[in-house]
Structure 1
C-alpha cells in the first residue's frame, strides 16, 4: 500500500483542543486520583501541550481550566468498533487540533477477532480525523499474553494477534502522517514498578512514562510547547495488600469480562500451537498471520481505488 498523507503535523494556533479516543489505557485505569476517578497518560500529556497555568479543560473529570482544551472519550473495554461508531462522531464534533487513537488490545481478546475488520475500522477513523485537519497521535502496544505471564501455548496466539494489530497501526500511521509511539518495546514493559497489579495497565509511573514519550515526540515537531510531565508520581504507590485486593476483586472481574468469550477459542489456538511446535512447523502460524495483515492492508488499497470509467 503506497502511503497517502493528508498533510503533516503543523504548529497549533493558540490553545490546542486535544481529544483522546481509546480504551481503559487512555481512560487512565491504573492511575487513580481519588473518588474512583482515573487520570492517565492523556490527561498528563494535555497539561504540557501549551504554555500556561497547569491544568486541563476536562471539567467533567474534575480538572481545572488550563492552556489545552482536553476531552477524554476513551471507555474501558472499548474495541475498534466502539471507537468508530461511538467515539469518532463525538470527537468530530469537537474539531480537535490533536487527537489520540490508541486501541486494539480488547479486539485481540475477543473470539470475533478479525484483522481485516480492525484495519478497515482504523482506516476510517484515521481518515476522518486527518481530513478534518487534526494531528493524529497513535501507538503500538505490548501483547496482553506476555503482560499477564500466560504459558507459551496460550500467550503466543495473543502475541501473534497483537503483532498483527501493531503492523496495521504502523502502516496506517505512516499513511496518514501520524505522530507514532513505539510503546510495544523497551525496558518499560518489563519494569514492574511501572505497572499496576493487574499487569495489563500502567500504574501512575507507567502513565507518566507514556505521557513523557508522547510529549517528546510532539515537542520535536513544535507541537508541545508546555513543560514535559514529571516522571515522579504525585500520589503514594498503593501498598501491595491493596493491589492484591483490587486484583482479587475488581481486577479479576475486569479480565474475566473481556476474556470469557475468548477462552474456548484460545484453548483451541493453544492446541494448534502445540501441534505445530511438535511438528516443527510453528513458522507457518507466523506466516499465516503476516499474510492476513498483508491481505487486510491490500483490501484497503483496492477499496479506495476510483471506479473504473
Structure 2
C-alpha cells in the first residue's frame, strides 16, 4: 500500500456498524465512522467523492447481492467492507456459507479499487456476546486470511480493549456511541498511513461505580426496549433494514460538514 496515497473517492459497504448507528445527529439521522472518515479525507482532497451503501441489519448474503456489484462498478480509490457479524448473531448459522460469501465479496472488490480495507469488528464484553464469541472469532480469523491473500488492509478493532468498554456502546448494547465511532474513524485513518490525531486505543478513565439497583433497572430497560424487539425480529425473520435504502447510494462529491468530536479528553459517561 502506498502510505502517501491521495484518496479521491471512498465507498463504504456493510450493515448498521458502517451506516453509523448509534451516532445520532440532531435531525434523527446517523453519522458514524465512515462519514467522519469521509469528512476528513474530503478536507484534504478537493473534489473528493463518497458513497455509503451500508444498511442496518444486512446479512453478508444481502451485502453481496445488494452492495458489492454497485461498489465494484464505482472503481473507488478506497473501499471498506465490514460484514458477516449479523450472521454470527443468528441462533443458527452456516459459517462455511458466511466465509464463502465474504470471500466472494473480497474477490470482486479487491481488483476494482485502489485499496480495500477490512476490519476485525469490535467485540463488546458481556454474557450475551460470550455465547456468540467463537463464531465471531472464526469470522475475524478468516478476515485476516482474506486480507493476506488479496492484499487488503485489516483494521484490528477487536484487539483494542477500550472498544470492549461498555461506555463505548449505546443503550442497545449493539452499536457504538459517537465516541466509539470517532475512534474507529481514527483507527482507519491511521491504518491508511495518515497523520494521527490521537491514540484511538487510549483507555477511558476508571468508571464511576453504579449501584446495584441502577444496574438492574438498566438491564430491565435494555431487555424491554432493545433485546425483546431484537429477538422478535430473529424469530419472525424480519430485519431492521427491511425496505430501507442506503443513505449515500451514489459516488458523489462530498461537502465537508462541521465535525462534532468528543475526543479522548471528554469520554462518554458511564452507561447502564
Same fold (TM over 0.5): yes
Correspondence 1:99 to 2:79: yes
Q: Which runs of 5+ in 1 are unaligned?
A: 1-7, 54-65, 232-239, 263-309
Q: Deviations over 1:131-159 (max 9, x none)?
A: 1133111111244xx54533xxxx54411
- The Cα shift of 1:88 comes to 0.7
Please say if residues 18 and 34 of structure 2, whose CA atoms lie closer than 8 Å, have aligned partners that are also in contact. Answer: yes
Q: Greater CA radius of gyration, 1 or 2?
A: 1
Q: Give the match for residue 226 of structure 2.
A: 251
Q: 1:248 to 1:119 in 2, by over 3 A?
A: closer
Q: TM-score, normalised by structure 2?
A: 0.70
Distance of aligned partners of 1:95 and 1:139 in 2 relative to their CA distance in 1, 3 Å threshold: same
User: Matches of residues 1-309 of structure 1 in structure 2 within 5 Å?
Assistant: 8-9=1-2, 12=5, 16-52=8-44, 67-143=47-123, 147-150=125-128, 155-219=129-193, 224=194, 228=197, 247=222, 251-252=226-227, 255-257=230-232, 259-260=234-235
Runs of 4+ in 1 over 4 A off after TM superposition: 8-13, 227-231, 243-250
Structure-1 residue corresponding to 2:264: none
Instruction: Spell out, residue by residue over 1:64-99, the C-alpha distance to the aligned partner (whole angstroms, 9 max, x if none).
Output: xx7531111111111110111101122123221111
| Alignment RMSD | 3.1
TM-score using structure 1 length: 0.63
Where in structure 2 are there 5+ consecutive unaligned residues? 201-213, 238-272
Structure of higher RCO (CA pairs closer than 8 Å, 6+ residues apart) = 2
Contact 1:195–1:202, Cα closer than 8 Å, also in 2: yes
**Which shifted more, 185-194 or 250-259?**
250-259
* 8 Å CA contact 2:79, 2:113 repeated in 1: no
Measured against aligned partners, the alpha-carbon deviations of 1:274-296 in whole angstroms (never above 9, x if no partner) come to xxxxxxxxxxxxxxxxxxxxxxx
Corresponding position of 1:271: none
